[in-house]
Structure 1
Amino acid sequence: MLRRSATAFAVLAALSLGACAGGGDRPTGDLAASKVTTIGVNSYLWRASLDALSFMPLVQTDSNGGVIVTDWYVNPQVPTERMKVTVTILDQDLRADALRVAALREVNRGGQWVAAPVAAATTQKLEDIILTKARDLRRGAISG
């Protein structure tokens, strides 16, 4: 439970603060990173994405198409702002370019939700969180 709380906190921080970190390199010749799934996309990326977004209500999950769509989420610490996230997994390989995160943000102005910009660093940070978690899952599967 503590680990899930830490993940939720990291994702909330990414959505709120928009901190940025770099991506990852494509592994070469790593069978554990590719085609390890009976679903249509990389299972590590899929599980990591679901785990990273577990605190948000889900609207759609399609493991064959690799799409996860959340419903609007209001952070209790910032009730005048809400976010909606779409994660798309594009490949069966565990690579940085196999993951796309898109986010929508709205702010409450006079009782109306109005579209607001999302910092590019916000989606980049969420991608980094998912990729790190997926790599940890893969390492655990290989060593365990």
Structure 2
Amino acid sequence: MTHQGNERNGVTDFRTRRPAVNAAVCWVAAVASLVLAAAWIWVATTEPPLSGPAVAHLALAAIGAAIAVAARRFAVGPTTAPSPRTFQALTIAAFLTGFAGAALGIVSGAVGSSVTAIAAGIIVFVLGAGVALQGALLYGAAAGRASAQQPRPRA
């Protein structure tokens, strides 16, 4: 099957839709993190060790939303695409936020005898790793597009 003179198959269709799918996954993770942050902040009024993971969830929601916006710009086309370094920085920030949230939750939960804080720390790490994975996939796609657009030297 051809489309405008180019052969297309399931793999190329997947690659052209991938940034939009990554953006949707990041939006879902950002909203989930925001909802969890609100819940942990509400519970932190009676259980203070939850305040650390709650703040980490808020930061992760902001980072996830930033990756989603950048991914949407990348999916629109090469003229609006951010540089690969944007995805690299946001990916590192997402992973470090998830790791810091897990450390805060586990340490404050162990000190304050709060199993809920430990669970909240583990949840923020899992969400952070998921957002970082989406950022890494987008970084690979952006780096591939950037290298494909550079002119090749003639021998």
TM over 0.5: no
Q: TM-score, normalised by structure 1?
A: 0.31
Q: TM-score, normalised by structure 2?
A: 0.29
Radius of gyration: which is bigger?
A: 2
* Between structures 1 and 2, the one with greater strand share: 1
